[in-house]
Amino acid sequence: MTINMKDKKIGATVLKWLPSIILTLIFIPNAFLKILGSNPIDKVVTNRHVLIGAGLFLVLATVLFLYNKTLLLGTTLLALHMTCIVLIHLYKGKPAEVAILIVIATIFAAYIRKPTLFQPR
């Protein structure tokens, strides 16, 4: 049983996109929780409009992250958002390890999809 080149190319594409899809499954539900109404009492910012704005920002950044031409901008916005979350977790004394891993995974997923973005010109 041999694997032809077309199957290898499809497999490589799936493996390239897998981390990005997994991160999307983390970011989008988080954004919709912010937009549609989570409990703002446990948040640093209790203003409903700020939470909705953060949710919309997260949706926009995720869409930019998924589109290849705006991958760098989307990655930057998502990493910036998650870095702020890390700082908030550190400030509140909550565990920040998972948020740090999400920042690293976001950059890693962008690197897997388009390694030329990370090479000097």
Residue 74 has pLDDT above 60, yes or no: yes
Res 1 pLDDT > 60: no
pLDDT band at 120; cut points 50, 70, 90: confident
- Per residue in 82-116, pLDDT (tens digit) is 999 999 889 988 899 999 999 999 999 999 999 99
pLDDT band at 32 (very low <50, low <70, confident <90, very high): very high
Spatial separation of the C-alpha atoms in residues 56 and 1, rounded to whole Å: 48
This prediction has a pTM of 0.87
Label residues 49-81 b or e (16+ Cβ within 10 Å = b).
Answer: eebeebbebbbebbebbbeeeebeebbbbbbeb
Amino acid at 50: V
- Predicted confidence at residue 87, as pLDDT, reads 93
Higher pLDDT, 108 or 36: 108
Report the residue count for the chain: 121
Q: How far apart are CA 60 and CA 3, in angstroms?
A: 38
Task: Compute the Cα dihedral for 42, 47, 52, 54 and give only its sign.
Answer: negative
- Residue 106 and residue 61: Cα distance in Å, rounded? 12
Cα angle 109-112-114, degrees, rounded to a multiple of 5: 105
Report the SS3 class of residue 1. Answer: coil
How much is the pLDDT for 4?
A: 80
Tell me, what's the pLDDT at 76?
Answer: 96
